[in-house]
């Protein structure tokens, strides 16, 4: 799986948990919470959906590594490829 594919998975999850958010113009290198109206519960929902839908565990100390789409791709791609 590529980083672009992983980023799309994250976007799909955001679309599920925050359907009113427009994800079409997201910039990969800018903090997601700065680009969208996501609160801490939304962020936890993203982490929970990664685990529920894909079996990906993200320890709490690694949450900052999911700040932007680019960092999500960088952090999560090895986890997806290790499955």
pLDDT in tens, 15-50: 999 999 899 999 999 999 899 988 889 999 999 999
At residue 61, does pLDDT exceed 90?
yes
- Where do the structural domains in the chain lie, given as residue ranges? 3-81
Model confidence at 57, pLDDT cuts 50, 70, 90, reads very high
Task: Quote the pLDDT of residue 3.
Answer: 97
Give this prediction's pTM: 0.94
Section 59-70 average pLDDT: 96
Output the DSSP codes for the chain.
Answer: --HHHHHHHHHHHHHHH-TTS--TT--TTSBHHHHS---HHHHHHHHHHHHHHH-----GGGGGGGSBHHHHHHHHHHHHHT-
Assigned CATH for 3-81: 1.10.1200.10
């Amino acid at each position: 799986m590529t980083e672009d594919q992983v980023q799309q998975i994250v976007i799909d999850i955001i679309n599920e948990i925050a359907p009113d958010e427009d994800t079409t113009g997201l910039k990969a290198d800018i903090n997601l919470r700065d680009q969208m109206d996501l609160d801490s519960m939304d962020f936890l929902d993203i982490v929970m959906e990664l685990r529920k839908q894909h079996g990906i565990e993200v320890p709490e100390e690694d949450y900052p590594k999911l700040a932007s789409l680019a960092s999500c791709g960088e952090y999560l791609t090895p986890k997806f490829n290790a499955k």
